[in-house]
Structure 1
Amino acid sequence: MSAAVSAAAAAACCSSKSSSTTTSRTTTTSARTHHSMLFSSPQASIQSPVVLFGRYEAQKRRDWDTFMQYLSQHGPPLALSRCSVAHVLEFLKYLDQFGKTKVHAQSCPFFGHAHAPAPCPCPLMQASGSLDALVGRLRAAYEENGGQPAINPFSARAVRLYLRDVRDVQAEARGMIGYDQKKTRKKNYMPHHIQQQEQYYD
């Protein structure tokens, strides 16, 4: 009888130790997980904008280096102080040779189609969205490198008009409605008295 009781007590003791060890491990794991959530997640959320900002700065630096190299290889070479709006427009057109966006001519049978079913000899150009973002980065880089905001050629009206023309031409070539067409369509659906007010302010 005594031997049986001792055996049962020993078994209960082992079971208690095993349960205690399992509980301790679970508690430790839970504490580590809680610690990781406290200190890892906020750090990751803080680093994300920093990474994006770093990529933007790196891209802006590469764009500026490309533009300065273009000026140095210009005939004759140009200093930044002599850079004008005409040189900026020349640079944007120069970049078209490296573009990957197919722009169909009006004589092309695929004109107005977003996805051409077959190859065609129409030129490749820089996408309008890419050019717009590029000009924004170069506008900031110009002033960061000593340029005066009042004479920033990347802020000129001629550059904005060029970007809008590129956007409209590419949208029309792909069968999309351009800005001017959207504005015209919107006016057609306006009441007569509102159209008269817009004509007055135009």
Structure 2
Amino acid sequence: MEGGGGGSSSEAGGGRERKQQQQQQQGGSEAAGAGGGGGGGGSSSGTQQQQPLSRYESQKRRDWNTFLEYLKNHKPPLTLGRCSGAHVIEFLKYLDQFGKTKVHISGCPYYGDPNPPAPCACPLKQAWGSLDALIGRLRAAFEENGGRPESNPFGARAVRIYLREVRDSHAKARGIPFEKKKRKRTTTTTTTQSSTPGSSSYVGSSSQQAATATTTSTAATTTQSPTSSAAGTTQSPPPTT
């Protein structure tokens, strides 16, 4: 009987220990869940703070990575510090193979025709507008990545001359002139009427002046008549009886 009592007490003690372990495990899981929730809230707030890039910024990043890849695969390989305007022009010519704009050669019968009636074997190149916008993005990306403005190869004079030549050659080959948009200036014109003899304004002003003079003379006559009558009354001698 005593052995049975001891066994029951040990079983009760073991049951209490198991309950305490279960409670501790539950508390630990709740704490872990709270920590995970806090971490999730932090990540969500982090994603909210990171604003998505604009279309221009995304395109600029892709162009910059493409140019760095071009320098890496260049033979011999080039570093960004050794890059010059001549290398930029080589990069632009390299991109012509991916162009989609038909540029007629001088021997093509459709040279200078903006709407050719049939297809031809002239090559496809990058449009001048695309190259000009690309250079603008790469020029900004170079300075954003630590480059100095005075050593920016995308702003070199040789690159500007090359872009101008591409613009003129494409305009002649495609028959589409590139004209700069002129700003409209608002001009205010004031019309002045001359008061020369014979003009309508002169006639009107002279008639107004004549009317004013007539009114003035009439008013002067009206004011003088009582005075003269009064003077005549005082000057006449009294009648004699």
Query: TM-score category by the smaller chain?
Result: 0.5 to 0.7
- Give TM-score scaled by structure 2 length: 0.51
Measure, in 1, the Cα distance between the counterparts of 2:177 and 2:78. Answer: 39
Report SS of the residue matched to 1:118: coil
Alignment partner of 1:120 is 2:113: no
Unaligned ranges ≥5, structure 2:
1-50, 180-241
Counterpart of 2:164, as a letter, is R
Within 5 Å, which residues of 2 pair with 1:1-202? Answer: 54-177=54-177
Measure, in 1, the Cα distance between the counterparts of 2:127 and 2:176. Answer: 14
Measure, in 1, the Cα distance between the counterparts of 2:136 and 2:73. Answer: 23
Measure, in 2, the Cα distance between the counterparts of 1:118 and 1:98. Answer: 22
Higher helix share: 1
The answer for the alignment partner of 2:211 in structure 1 is none
Question: Could you say which structure has the larger radius of gyration?
Answer: 2
Counterpart of 2:83, as a letter, is C
Measure, in 2, the Cα distance between the counterparts of 1:117 and 1:73. Answer: 41
* Alignment deviations for residues 17-69 of structure 1 (CA, whole Å, 9 cap, x no partner): xxxxxxxxxxxxxxxxxxxxxxxxxxxxxxxxx98x71100000000000000
Counterpart of 1:109, as a letter, is P
1:178: how far off?
Answer: 5.5
1:116: how far off?
Answer: 1.7
- Give TM-score scaled by structure 1 length: 0.61
* Alignment deviations for residues 154-199 of structure 1 (CA, whole Å, 9 cap, x no partner): 00111111111111111111113366xxxxxxxxxxxxxxxxxxxx
Equivalent pair of 1:172/1:178 in contact (CA under 8 Å): no
Unaligned ranges ≥5, structure 1:
1-49, 180-202
Measure, in 2, the Cα distance between the counterparts of 1:178 and 1:62. Answer: 27
Measure, in 2, the Cα distance between the counterparts of 1:100 and 1:115. Answer: 16
Counterpart of 1:94, as a letter, is Y
Measure, in 1, the Cα distance between the counterparts of 2:172 and 2:96. Answer: 18
Equivalent pair of 1:95/1:126 in contact (CA under 8 Å): yes
Counterpart of 2:128, as a letter, is S
Measure, in 1, the Cα distance between the counterparts of 2:176 and 2:57. Answer: 32
Identity of matched residues, %:
67
* Alignment deviations for residues 83-113 of structure 1 (CA, whole Å, 9 cap, x no partner): 1111100000000000000000111000011
The answer for the alignment partner of 1:30 in structure 2 is none
Equivalent pair of 1:103/1:122 in contact (CA under 8 Å): yes
Of structures 1 and 2, the one with the larger relative CO (CA 8 A, separation 6+) is 1
* Alignment deviations for residues 123-180 of structure 1 (CA, whole Å, 9 cap, x no partner): 110000000000000000001111111010100111111111111111111113366x
Measure, in 2, the Cα distance between the counterparts of 1:96 and 1:115. Answer: 22
